[in-house]
């Protein structure tokens, strides 16, 4: 891929704007809460777009396009059942407790609801995981730019990391959120034209359907048996594993996304954040997955296009689908925009991780365990220093992400171990006042252990089975991951409930604004289209329609 | 800070103008596409940017967010 000066000009212009936003926002940061939680003052349309943009990292964009080429439109499940229902749940049912408790982070909610050890466990695993995700994202980007543009791996990683560092260092969470909105529009305007051009070239949807095997153009029709679809999953594993445990575990408890909603200016805005975000989330498959599906159709037409093979054999390298399509359809100019969008997706993912890591480290670990009663200016200083440390750790861990062929599968594995049991903890914590701190802590440990054990005792595509005995063989690692999540969730749920019943419950007066039944949800006098329930119903109707259309 | 929409609008107006102008003056073509992608893409971004600017300007009377 050859770039013209105009492409570099667009990339440079983007960098200038990103840094400008950081510089302008800097003036509004005077306390640690301004820096780490945006002082709860961000308008709802901004938090909504940031809510999905923080999740829309480079590995998401490249990985989803890759999965589109590998599995077909079935990949849309990661959005339609793997994200949207959980987003509705967190907005309608969970946000009143997150926002109402005045917690500054998800681990801090756990401290208020349960105890210090539960918070510490969650904060530490979360901190490690965010740095890890950030590193994976960085690695993916560096590798890609090296492959496609022959840029030095180190140079592209360091340049983009430096820019993320500058704007998050200057303006903290507000700067990250404002930039995520710019990045969101850039991702959509940079990739949507590619989807349109690729699909048109492949003969529209009907042309694609005629050229592809049927499984590639249906989402549910072949989900009945694992052997019938390329993902190797069946409907129960898909709905319970991905649609319930994994997706609720991520969207409802992952501080990276929940932090965006918690930065909203009011309870009503916080609840609407994930609901409004569900609309763009629902149509994202058409921007990021569809080009991948179209690429396979194009490779069947005598156009001279094919998905590149992995060096040294081993089938197609799906991770290159997006960039090869860009090279085929974008002339210099739009190509610069597309690459800028890729860079933007990387930066939004990384800034999201860095700002979440920041808050958790500063408030939950540093203030909670290392230095409790320092003046606020000290925590602001710690937050800023942590930004530098977070970026440095991410660069360090970027080299760990080498052993997995599909980035998506790897992320699922990590989520399965750490996040899957989490949702059980929050579910019981928010909706069962009898749940106790000892119960939650034991449940989390048991759930994570169950996840690891499931992975160790089963095998899929030569992965897992490290505990010696193999109890079950799954048709795909994806199916294995879904079942790991299901086991972790169930074990955590049962362990938490059992230990809670034999330990002393907290007095009810301490649980106000933390648990369902002891929290008064303020009735806000807003028109119907601003209320959570009607919004959620509209989302559900649109979701059902999409699933029927692409059955 | 001035409205975020103004910042975003300004960015896309600029990028739209650059990409659109490239489409007008240079004869860049991608291997699989014969249409002038730069011209249409640039125009679309220009319109999007202008709408964002207009939305931002309309609200900025005393309300800064």
Residue spans per domain, chain A: 5-17+38-365+377-400, 408-520
Tell me the C-alpha distance between A234 and A23, whole Å.
Answer: 50
Question: In Å, what is the CA distance from A455 to each residue of A479, A495, A538?
Answer: 11, 19, 38
A401 Cβ contact list (under 8 Å, min separation 6): A135, A136, A139, A140, A407, A410
Contacting residues of B for A331, CB less than 8 Å apart = 28-30, 33, 37-38
Q: Of the candidates A6, A24, A330, which has its C-beta nearest B18's C-beta?
A: A6
Nearest CA in chain B to A175: B4
Domain presence at residue B64: no
Domain that holds residue B33: 4-59
Q: What is the pLDDT of residue A35?
A: 83
* pLDDT tens readout for residues A388-414: 999 988 888 776 665 554 554 566 566
* pLDDT tens readout for residues A467-496: 777 888 887 777 888 888 888 999 999 999
Q: What is the pLDDT of residue B65?
A: 42
- Contact across the interface for B65 and A9, Cβ inside 8 Å: no
Tell me the C-alpha distance between A247 and A148, whole Å.
Answer: 32
Candidates A44, A180, A295, A331: best to mutate against B (most CBs of B within 10 A) is A331
Q: Which helix (H) or strand (E) holds A20?
A: helix A5-26
Q: What is the pLDDT of residue B1?
A: 42
Q: Please give the residue that has the higher pLDDT: either B39 or A403.
A: B39
Q: What is the pLDDT of residue A408?
A: 46
Nearest CA in chain A to B9: A182
Asked if A27 reaches chain B (Cβ–Cβ under 8 Å), the answer is yes
Structural contact between residues A164 and A347, judged by C-beta atoms closer than 8 angstroms: yes
A129 Cβ contact list (under 8 Å, min separation 6): A414, A418
Q: What is the pLDDT of residue B62?
A: 43
Asked if B59 reaches chain A (Cβ–Cβ under 8 Å), the answer is no
Contacting residues of B for A21, CB less than 8 Å apart = 7
Asked if A331 reaches chain B (Cβ–Cβ under 8 Å), the answer is yes
Q: Please give the residue that has the higher pLDDT: either A304 or A541.
A: A541
Q: What is the pLDDT of residue A376?
A: 87
- Contact across the interface for A334 and B1, Cβ inside 8 Å: no
Q: Of the candidates A4, A13, A181, which has its C-beta nearest B8's C-beta?
A: A181
| Strongest mean pLDDT among A60-64, A302-306, A308-312 | A60-64
pLDDT at B2 over 70: no
Closest to A384 (Cα-Cα) out of A165, A180, A174: A165
- Contact across the interface for A334 and B37, Cβ inside 8 Å: yes
Fold of domain A5-17+38-365+377-400 = Sodium/glucose cotransporter (1.20.1730)
pLDDT at B63 over 50: no
Contacting residues of B for A23, CB less than 8 Å apart = none
Tell me the C-alpha distance between A273 and A99, whole Å.
Answer: 12
Nearest CA in chain B to A23: B1
- For the CA atoms of A267, A272, A274, A280, the dihedral, rounded to the nearest 10 degrees, stands at -150
Q: Of the candidates B10, B28, B44, which has its C-beta nearest A332's C-beta?
A: B28
Complex ipTM value: 0.90
* pLDDT tens readout for residues A78-119: 888 888 889 899 888 888 888 888 888 889 999 988 888 999
pLDDT confidence tier of residue A70, bands split at 50, 70 and 90: confident
Q: What is the pLDDT of residue A405?
A: 45
Asked if B24 reaches chain A (Cβ–Cβ under 8 Å), the answer is no
pLDDT confidence tier of residue A498, bands split at 50, 70 and 90: very high
Domain presence at residue B36: yes
Q: Into how many domains does chain B fold?
A: 1
Tell me the pairing of strands A463-464 and A472-474: unpaired
* pLDDT tens readout for residues A164-200: 999 988 888 888 888 889 999 999 999 999 999 888 8
Asked if A414 reaches chain B (Cβ–Cβ under 8 Å), the answer is no
Cβ–Cβ pairs < 8 A, chains A and B: 97
Q: What is the pLDDT of residue A14?
A: 92
pLDDT at A303 over 80: no
Q: What is the pLDDT of residue A415?
A: 60
**What is the percentage of chain A residues whose pLDDT exceeds 90?**
9
Tell me the C-alpha distance between A130 and B46, whole Å.
Answer: 36
**What is the percentage of chain B residues whose pLDDT exceeds 90?**
28
Contacting residues of B for A189, CB less than 8 Å apart = 12, 44-45, 48
Mean of pLDDT values over A28-34: 83
Averaged pLDDT score across all residues of chain A:
84
pTM given for the model: 0.88
pLDDT at A541 over 50: yes
Q: Would you give the DSSP letter of residue A506?
A: P
In chain A, what is the straight-line distance between the N-terminal and C-terminal CA atoms, in Å? 37
């Amino acid at each position: 891929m050859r770039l013209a000066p105009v492409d570099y000009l667009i990339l440079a212009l983007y960098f200038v704007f990103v840094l400008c936003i950081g510089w302008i926002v800097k003036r509004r940061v005077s306390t640690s809460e301004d820096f780490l939680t945006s002082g709860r003052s961000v308008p709802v349309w901004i938090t909504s777009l940031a809510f999905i943009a923080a999740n829309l990292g480079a590995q998401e964009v490249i990985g989803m396009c890759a999965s589109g080429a590998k599995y077909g439109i079935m990949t849309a499940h990661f959005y339609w059942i793997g994200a949207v229902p959980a987003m509705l749940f967190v907005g309608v049912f969970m946000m009143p407790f997150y926002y109402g408790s005045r917690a500054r982070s998800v681990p801090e909610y756990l401290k208020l609801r349960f105890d210090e050890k539960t918070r510490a466990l969650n904060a530490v695993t979360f901190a490690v995981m965010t740095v890890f995700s950030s590193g994976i994202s960085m690695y993916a980007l560096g590798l890609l730019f090296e492959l496609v543009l022959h840029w030095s791996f180190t140079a592209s990683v360091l340049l983009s990391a430096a820019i993320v560092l500058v704007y998050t260092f200057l303006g903290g969470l507000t700067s990250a959120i404002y930039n995520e909105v710019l990045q969101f529009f850039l991702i959509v305007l940079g990739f949507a034209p590619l989807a349109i051009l690729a699909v048109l070239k492949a003969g529209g949807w009907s042309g694609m359907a005629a050229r592809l095997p049927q499984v590639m153009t249906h989402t549910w029709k072949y989900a009945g048996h694992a052997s019938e679809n390329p993902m190797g999953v069946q409907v129960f594993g898909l709905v319970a594993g991905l649609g319930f445990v994994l997706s609720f575990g991520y969207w409802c408890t992952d501080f990276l996304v929940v932090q965006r909603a918690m930065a909203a200016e009011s309870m009503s805005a916080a609840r609407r954040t994930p609901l409004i975000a569900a609309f763009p989330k629902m149509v994202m498959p058409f921007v990021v997955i569809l080009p991948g599906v179209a690429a396979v159709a194009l490779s069947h037409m005598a156009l001279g296009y094919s998905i590149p093979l992995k060096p040294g054999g081993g089938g197609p390298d799906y991770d290159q689908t997006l960039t090869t399509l860009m090279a085929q359809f974008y002339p210099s100019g739009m190509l610069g925009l597309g690459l800028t969008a890729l860079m933007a997706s990387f930066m939004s993912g990384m800034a999201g991780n860095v700002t979440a890591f920041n808050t958790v480290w500063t408030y939950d670990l540093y203030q909670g365990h290392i230095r409790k009663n320092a003046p606020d200016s000290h925590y602001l200083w710690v937050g800023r220093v942590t930004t530098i440390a977070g970026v440095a750790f991410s660069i360090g861990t970027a080299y760990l992400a080498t052993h997995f062929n599909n980035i998506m599968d790897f992320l699922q594995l990590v989520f399965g171990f750490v996040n899957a049991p989490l949702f059980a903890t929050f579910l019981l914590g928010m909706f069962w006042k009898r749940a106790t701190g000892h119960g939650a802590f034991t449940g989390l440990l048991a759930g994570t252990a169950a996840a690891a054990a499931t992975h160790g005792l089963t095998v899929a595509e030569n992965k897992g089975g490290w505990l010696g005995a193999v109890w079950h063989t799954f048709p795909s690692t994806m199916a294995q991951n879904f079942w790991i999540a299901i086991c972790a969730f169930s074990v955590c749920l049962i362990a938490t409930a059992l230990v809670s019943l034999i330990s002393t419950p907290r007095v009810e007066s301490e649980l106000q604004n933390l648990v369902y039944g002891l929290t008064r949800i303020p009735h806000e006098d807003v028109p119907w289209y601003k209320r959570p329930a009607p919004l959620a119903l509209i989302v559900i109707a649109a979701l059902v329609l999409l699933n029927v259309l692409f059955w | 800070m001035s409205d975020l929409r103004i910042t975003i609008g300004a960015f896309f107006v600029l990028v739209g103008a650059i990409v659109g102008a490239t489409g007008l003056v240079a004869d860049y073509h991608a291997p699989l596409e014969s249409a002038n992608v730069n011209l249409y893409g640039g125009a679309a971004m220009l319109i999007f940017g202008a709408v964002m600017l207009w939305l931002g300007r309309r609200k900025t009377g005393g309300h800064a967010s």
